[in-house]
Each structure stands twice: as structure tokens, then as C-alpha cells.
Amino acid sequence: MTPKASPNRAELLQGTLDMLILRTLLFGPAHGHQIAKHIQRTTDDVLQVEHGSLYPALHRMEQKGWIISKWESINEGKREFKFYRLTKTGRKQLASEQSKWKQLAKAIALVMSPASNEE
Amino acid sequence: MIRHRLKSWLTSIFKRHAAENDLQRELQSHLELETEEQHESGLPADEAYYAARRAFGNPTLVGEDLRESWSLAWLEHFSRDLRYGARSLLRSPGFSAVAVLTLALGIGANTAIFSTIDALMLRPLPFSSPDQLVRIYSIKTGIADSFGNPDGPSAPDVRDFAQRSHSFQKMVVYDTWRKNVSFGDLAGEPEQMRVGLVPAAYFEILDVKPIAGRLFTEDENQVGKNFVAAISTSLWKDRFAADPSILGRKIRINGEPYAIVAVMPDLTPERMESGLLDSPKVWTPFAFSDVWSEPSRGERGYLALARLKPGVSIEQAQADLSVIADALAAAHPVDQGVSVSIKKLADTRAGSLRPMLFLLMGAVSLILLIACVNLANLLLARNSARQRELAVRAALGSARGGLIRHLLAETLLLSLAGAAAGLLLAKAGLASVMMMHPSDLSQLESLEIDWRVLTFTLSVSLITALLFGLAPAITGTRLNPADALKQSGRSGTAGKGGKRMRNLLVATEMAMSLMLLVAASLVVQSLARLYRQSLGIRQDHLLKGHFYVPGVRYPDPAAIARFCDQLAGRVRALPGVIDATVTTIYPPNNGWTQMLGIPGHPATRIQDIPAAQFGVADVHFRATLGIPLIRGRDFAESDIATSPPVALITEEFKRRYFPSSDPIGQKIHIGPPQFMQLPPGAGVTDSSDVTIVGILGDFRNNGLALPPEPQIVVLYSQHPLVNYGFKDIVIRTVSDPSSLAPAIRRQLHDLDSDMPFAEVQTIEALVEEESGGQRFTAVLLSLFAVAGLVLAVVGIYGVVSFVVAQRNQELAVRIALGASRANVLWLVLKQGLQMAAIGAAIGLLGACATQKLTSSLLFGISPLDPATFAVGAALLLAVAAIASAIPGMRVLRIDPSAVLRQD
């Protein structure tokens, strides 16, 4: 399951990582590894989240107040993870990014395959 | 303050440290989990670890990326604002350059001038409780002009003031005399210098204590016991290499030995008033045989210094002394019409330059005002032109705080650049002040930038910048973006308030720069007139020098006369010398006023006694100086000691005292009339009579600026009672006069090796020096006037080009609807001219209001000279017209169709 194993890997569109993280956290608190894994799994390994962009993104979003973090232990305290959870602002941000994204996707779709619009 | 800053800095470091640990922990846990997963999927433990590391990427790089995002948010924002501000300033280099230049001029000029003025007049005197120190003057009223100026009191008067008054701790009368001083073979050439004749009280009043040795005793103020001297520290260093065993060494003053008993600090009031070169560096006791006797009461011209009792005001002290002076005037005929005046010692600094310095202070303050007004104007214009940009940014969601922060950064950048440039300018300014300062201002020796002044000018301009830089931002961001967008789109005019404000500012600028222009032009014209002044002699190729024939070796007037005649004879024989005269006078100064008895001018009161400038010379006087003989005859070689005394008078003398009769052949009595009861020999008197034999053309004898006073010249050989040792020699040469100075000095030393040749200078150089103060003022004022004018032009240019840009559409509509371009151009020009006209009117009123400040510096021109006013105003209007025409020309290039299609 190394990144090299997936030939269909796609580059993340600039600015969409934040949205994906926010969307992931909508299901509940998660730590960095879970977030990365979740995005990877739900996209059938198409989107590989680079750790080099994941953590800076998380910290940036925390500074903006979209998410908050807390160290929590799992497995009876054997190990600690930093869990991120969505804030109210984060929820609003997600909504606005989602709608922007939809518009964008629709627009791109119109350009790329005009016929599909009539379907 | 500092502690607080330190604290916040430390916490930020610790916080950062904590965050760093946090990150390490987070990345570590991620890595561990990844390793576990890889292991579970079937890889051996060590391979799983490397696989996890590979999947993770470079943890250091991740850390670095993150750390960047942590750096304090405001700092990042602010530095971004600064960068953005710098970019947007660079994008309008014209505006930025002008704004920085404006600030630099205002800050630089003011810092330089106020630092100078502070050094000259404002700094507290370097004596203890300097506010208690006063000078005492006698004022004689109602005689000749030169008597109206404050004069020194006489010793008996000061003694009576001291005994009868209640306002002073101590009072002292003293004097300074030019004497020949030799320091012994090892310490170099003899030198003629001013020697202070002072009792110990002089130093006690100043609270100046000897660096080594002791003050003079009371006993030593008696003639015969007075052969002790104090020397200044600088002299001790220059002449004696700071020899520690200096006390007890002998110096010779006017040929007599004096033992050094003290080394004194350099600083005395004389040093501040007359500068390094001419201030006393040697002091001897105040020992005169007859100075305290009653007949000496009329012998004025001494210096007097006193220290007020604590808490006594100068007005109280003045009232105290005035009562005493009235009593003295009633008791003694020679004190009739003599009143007393006291001045703070601090106010006598910088002497005759005070009015000029006040004028410069006013002028440079105007520059600062103009600069601030200009800056305000520039910022107003720029920011209201950006109203739209700001509105767009606000509409796009930029927070108001962000906009203000951005403008703040811009303003700050401008101010800092301006301050830096201003500092450079101030340094350059001070350097040039030091270079051209009139030589008699010793206090400029230690001239440097006054940081208080710099702080002040900087804050004034910073406040202006912030006020006008941010005001539109604050009101602008409060605007509803929609309104602002709509407004600036079509209607294209600034708010009425802003427009009126700008016009007012420009008019103010114009007014102030016109005031400067008028003042500068008046002073320059005065200077030109001063230079054009004829001295009344042929002033080219003349050299003058001073020597003193000491009474020790030349005990009687005949010996003095013999020495002078010998010297003049030797000098006349030198190659390159046309003629030479030994004299006590040469233009443009004289300084010896003599009371006279003239037929037809009986005097019973002191105010009515005829007086004239008095000179004593040899028979070559007129020929050497090249003074025209109007009538009668010149002195002749046949006028010798034993022949009847003769005199030459000037035309002004004839006008004053012989308006309708022929003076030639008339007899004049030299000296005050009998009723003043002065015994012969007291004061500058000579009871002999002289016969007027010739009338000379007038020559300057009261400075360059004042008209010549009546003048009488007699021969020293015929007037032994006024034949003192103080003499000048004036030489007319064939070629460059200064080249002859060494030869003349050699002749003097051949006759007497102990006699210094002092104050050697050409007459032309002397005239230059006399007008030094005026030249200084003229140069600085002209610079200020030019600076003011430039600033005003920039101001008007800025406003008009702003208006043109703002009214672009309106003007385009007018053109489209058929207005001629000339009409439209006039519309624009009118605006500039209106401001200039209003400014000019206010400026002329201002120049009238401040005429008092200029009048004392002017010569031969009225402070309200109509031609100067008219030309100044016309120049201002012309410049304003050009400054508005340049942006106005843009109107001519307007393409209505293009403009109207915009937006």
C-alpha cells in the first residue's frame, strides 16, 4: 500500500484539501493519520494526501478557527493522538466551499462535456 | 515598557517551543501508526518502519512548512502591508518622491536652523543660576545717534549702584583692553590681545573657579601691586603646552612683567559675545589710579556685570537702579540725561545677530508649516483618488482594520523615508552653517544636531502624515462601498468638504511662501545696496593693521609720535607701497565720539553739546585713503608739533554745524565745555583749539549701513593729550595689498621686536566681514524662499492635476457638447490661479504684519517696499499659472469618446 502502488493517483486541486479535510471531520473527530487514510480510502486511493501538505493545512485551519485540536489517548492510554474536530466556523466554511466547489465542478463539466448537461 | 516587551517576547519563544514539541509528538505518533499498519499488512518490522518513513516523506520539511505558518500572524500581515505599501508607493514614484522631498525639506531645514539657534541663544548659559546674571548699561539720551545705543557705565556710577541698591548679590565693573602680550622666548611670537581687567568679583559673580592657582586679591587692584595675571585654559595649552608648573611664570604685558597666579576655565561672557579670536584669554586686576575719583564719573564705557538676589526679577532690579540713576543725574552734571538699563546676560548673546536669527527662525518655521500643508494636500489628493480602490477592496471583503493598517504602513514608510532624507539634509545644513557662519559666533564651534528638535519636527510631520493619510481612509472605509463605487464612477468629483480643504491648504501654502519670498528679496536687495555703498574712499589696494605703542618704553606722546612717524616713513619706502598713514580711524568704522565747542553752538545742557566722530592721524591721511578734498587745503608737512593746530572736517560736519557760514578758518574747541567741570586730562579731552583748514568728502564712519556722521580729523603731532599708543596703519599698495603684510611686520619688528602687528586685513576684506551677518541671512533666506516656492508649486501642481483627473469625465462631456478646448483649459487654470490669488493676498497681509521682524535687517529699503511686494506677488502668480498649466494641458488631449466609454 505504498503510494507508488497506485498508478491512478491524482494531484489534489489547489485549495480543495481544506475542503476535503473539513468534509472528513464532519463524521467526527479524527487524527491526522485517520484523515489521510479516510480521504485515500474514500477516493479508492486516487487521492493521496501528502503528509507534507496535510499537517501544515491542519495547523493553518486551526489558526483560522475552523478546527480545534486535543490530545487524546486510545487503547487504554497506550498511545496518544492529536484529534481534530470541526468548529461552527469550520462548518460554515465547509458549506461555502462546498457550494463554490459545486459551481466550479458544474462549470468545468459544462466545458468538458457539453452534451452531458442535457442528460 | 521594555520589561513588558521582553516578557511577550519570551512567552512567544516558549509558546513556540511548546508547539514544536507538540508537532514532534504528532508526527511521531503518525509514524508509529503507519509502521504498525505496514507491519500488519505483512512486511517485516524493520522494513515496515522504512516503508512508513517513505510514505510519510521528509518530517523536517513538514516541520519547516509548518513553522512558517506559525510566525506571528500580525507581523506577517504587517510586513505584507509594508511590502504592499512600498510597491504601491513605487508605482507612483512622482507622488512618493515629492512627499519624501517635502518631508525632508521641512525636517532637515528646521532641525539645522533650530539647532543653530539653540546653540546661539536658547541654551542656558554655562554658569550656575544663569538667570540671575545681568549686564548693566548706561543710556545717554538726546545727543547723537550713536549715543542712543546702550553704552557702558562709569566706575563711580557702578560703585553707587552697588552701594545703594538692594536687588543684587554682587556687582562688578571691569573692562577689556587690547594690549601687547609676550609669553617669553619659548612660547612664540608676541601677540596683541584683549586683556580682561577684572577684580576677583568678576569670576565670583560668574561662579567660575580657577583650575589652578587663586583669584586676585583686593590688594592687587591697586596700581603698583597689580602685576599678577590669570590665563585661560586654552592659552595655557596653546602657549605653554599645559605646563603643570605654570604658576609663578612671568608674561610681559605692554612691556611689564606679570606673574601668572591662576589658570581659569575658557568660558566667560566675553567669549560668547565676541567669539574665540577676540575674547580675553589673559586677565589682570582692575587697577587704575583715578578710576574711582569723582572726575571719572563721566568716563563711561566700562563693562558691568551683576548677580541678582534669588527671587528678584529683572524688572524689580531695573526699577531699583532707575531710582538711583535719577538721583545721580540730579546730583552730578555729567550724569544728566543718563539712565540705566539692565539686560539678562543670556539675552546679550549673539549680539547684533539676534534679529537675523529671529527672522530665520520665523522663516524656517514657515517652511515646516508649508511642508506639512503640502504633505497633507498630497495625501488628501492621493487617497481620495483611491477612494474607489478602497471601496472595491472593502466590497471584496477586506476588513476596515486591514485597509487602515495598509494605509498606516504606507504613511509610515513615507515618513521614515522623509525623516532619513531630512536627517541627511540637516547634517549637510549644519556643515554649511559652520562653514559660512559669521566668525564672531564662538558658540557655533560645538554645533551639532539637536535631537530634541529633530524629534519635534519628526513628530509634527508624522502627525500630519497620519492625520491626513488616515482621515480619508477612516471616512472612506466608513462609506457604503456601493455609494462610493457609484459616486466615483460617474459624477467624478470629490466631496465638497475635501475640495474646500485642499484649496484652503494650497492658498495657505502660497501665502506663506510669498512671505518668505518678500523677506528674502528685501534682504537680498539690502545686501546689494550695502555692497554698492561707497565708503567715500578708494577702497581697493588698501591694507590696514593695528599696533600698540606701550607707555613703558614710550613714556610720552612725543615718543609715541616719533615711533609712528618712523614706522610710516619706513613703510612708505618699501617697494610696492604708494603711500601710508598712521591713524586712529579708517572707514567704515570710527568709534571715537568727541564733544566739541563750536562757535554759534552754545550748550548749557549735556544734550546740546556738539559732538562728532574724532580721528587722530598723520598728514598722509587723506592722500593714502583717497578721500576727495572738497574745499580748502589738505594737511601739509609744514603742519608740525609747534605750528598752529589744524583740522579737516567732512561735508556732513559742515551741514550739521556750519549750515550757512564758511567753516574754513573757524576755530573749534576740542573737548566738553567748561560747565561740565572736567579737569584736563580726565577722559578723552583736549582743551586745545584747532583751526579748520579743509573740507573732505563724507566717508563711512558709522558702519556700512548708517549714513556718515560728522567727522573731524586732527594731527597727533599737534595734540599730545589725545596721542595714545593705540594706532592703526593704512597702506596703499600697487599690487595685491596682503602680499605686503610680512614686509610691514618686519619693519615694525625692526623698530621694536616686542610689538605685535595685529588685525592685518585689506579694507575690502573688512567690508566683506562687516556684511557677513547680512550675507548669511540673505543666503539662508533665499534658500528658504526657493524651497517654499518649490513646495508651493508642487502643492498647486498636485491639486490641479488631481482636479483634472477627477473631472476628466465632466470635461470630456463639456468638450463633447461643444465647449472649446481653450474654455475648458481656462476652467482648470482658473482653479489654480484662484488659490494663488487668495494666497498672494493673504501673504502680502502677512508680510505687512511681520515687517517688524525684517525691518532691523534692512538697509535702504522699506519693509513695505511696494515694488518688492508687487514683483513677489506677480512671480507667485506666474509660477502658479505654469504649475497649473502643465496638468491643465492634459485637458487638451482628452479624447471625449474614449473617456465617456470608460466605466
Per-residue model confidence as pLDDT tens digits over B395-407 = 666 666 677 777 7
* pLDDT of res. B444: 60
Q: Compute and round to an integer the Cα radius of gyration of chain B.
A: 39
Check whether B745 has a pLDDT greater than 50: yes
CA–CA distance, B600 with B835 (Å, rounded to integer): 64
Contacts 24+ apart (CB under 8 A), B657-662: B657/B598, B657/B600, B657/B601, B657/B610, B657/B612, B657/B710, B658/B600, B661/B600
* pLDDT of res. B467: 76
Q: How far is B87 from chain A (nearest CA, A)?
A: 27
Q: Give Cα separations from B369 to B507, B600, B604, B644 (angstroms).
A: 13, 60, 58, 69
Q: Residue ranges of chain A with pLDDT lower than 70?
A: 1-15, 76-77, 115-119
Assign B66 a pLDDT band (cuts: 50, 70, 90): low
Q: Compute and round to an integer the Cα radius of gyration of chain A.
A: 16
Q: B256-270, B673-687, B696-710, B811-825: which range is least confident on average? A: B673-687
Check whether B492 has a pLDDT greater than 50: no
Query: Residue B644, SS3?
Result: coil
Residues in chain B: 903
Beta strands B593-597; B667-670: pairing state: antiparallel
* pLDDT of res. A118: 46
* pLDDT of res. B555: 87
A31 lies within 8 A of chain B by CB: yes
Higher pLDDT pick, B33 / B728:
B728
Check whether B684 has a pLDDT greater than 60: no
Strand boundaries in B477-617, DSSP class E: 542-548, 577-583, 593-597, 611-617
Determine the average pLDDT of the residues in B139-167.
73
Check whether B74 has a pLDDT greater than 70: no
Higher pLDDT pick, B571 / B810:
B571
Instruction: Please give the share of chain B, as a percent, with pLDDT higher than 90.
Output: 23
Highest mean pLDDT among B144-148, B354-358, B475-479: B354-358
Beta strands B689-696; B646-650: pairing state: parallel
| Closest chain B residue by Cα to residue A59 | B66
Of B33, B37, B62, the CB nearest to A55: B62
Beta strands B611-617; B338-344: pairing state: unpaired
* pLDDT of res. B606: 67
Structure-block grid coordinates of residue A106: 458544474
The ipTM (two decimal places) reads: 0.75
Assign B91 a pLDDT band (cuts: 50, 70, 90): confident
Check whether B871 has a pLDDT greater than 70: yes
Check whether B891 has a pLDDT greater than 90: no
Instruction: Quote the Cα angle for B440-B444-B445, to 5°.
Output: 100
What mean pLDDT, rounded, does chain B reach? 81
Kindly determine whether residue B38 and residue A56, on different chains, have CB atoms separated by under 8 Å.
Answer: no
Whether B725 and B716 have beta carbons less than 8 Å apart is answered as no
Position B384, amino acid: S
Is the peptide bond between B44 and the residue preceding it cis, with omega within 30 degrees of 0?
A: no
* pLDDT of res. B64: 63
Q: Give the CA dihedral B503, B504, B507, B513, nearest 10 degrees.
A: -120
* pLDDT of res. B815: 83
Of A2, A33, A71, the CB nearest to B33: A33
pTM of the model: 0.62
- For an interface test with A, the pick among B29, B32, B40 (most A C-beta atoms closer than 10 Å) comes out as B29
Which residues in A lie closer than 8 A to residue B57 (C-beta atoms)? Answer: 50-52
A64 lies within 8 A of chain B by CB: no
* pLDDT of res. B894: 73
Check whether B123 has a pLDDT greater than 60: yes
CA–CA distance, B175 with B159 (Å, rounded to integer): 15
Higher pLDDT pick, B499 / B472:
B499
Residue B78: CB atoms within 10 Å:
17
Q: What is the CATH topology of the domain spanning A3-114? A: Arc Repressor Mutant, subunit A (1.10.10)
Could you identify the residue written with the cell 504649475? B883
Assign B469 a pLDDT band (cuts: 50, 70, 90): confident
Assign B61 a pLDDT band (cuts: 50, 70, 90): low
Whether A32 and B30 have beta carbons less than 8 Å apart is answered as yes
List the beta bridge partners of residue A71: A82
Q: Give Cα separations from B583 to A41, B263, B548 (angstroms).
A: 117, 36, 12
Structure-block grid coordinates of residue B787: 524651497
Of A33, A71, A81, the CB nearest to B34: A33
Q: B61-75, B283-297, B597-611, B793-807: which range is least confident on average? A: B61-75
Determine the average pLDDT of the residues in B4-18.
58
Check whether B19 has a pLDDT greater than 80: no
Determine the average pLDDT of the residues in B443-470.
75
CA–CA distance, B695 with B658 (Å, rounded to integer): 12
Kindly determine whether residue A32 and residue B30, on different chains, have CB atoms separated by under 8 Å.
Answer: yes
Determine the average pLDDT of the residues in B383-394.
69
Structure-block grid coordinates of residue B540: 581697493
What DSSP state is assigned to residue B708? P
* pLDDT of res. B618: 94
* pLDDT of res. B685: 46
Check whether B837 has a pLDDT greater than 80: yes
* pLDDT of res. B141: 61
Residue B607: CB atoms within 10 Å:
14
Kindly determine whether residue A63 and residue B26, on different chains, have CB atoms separated by under 8 Å.
Answer: no
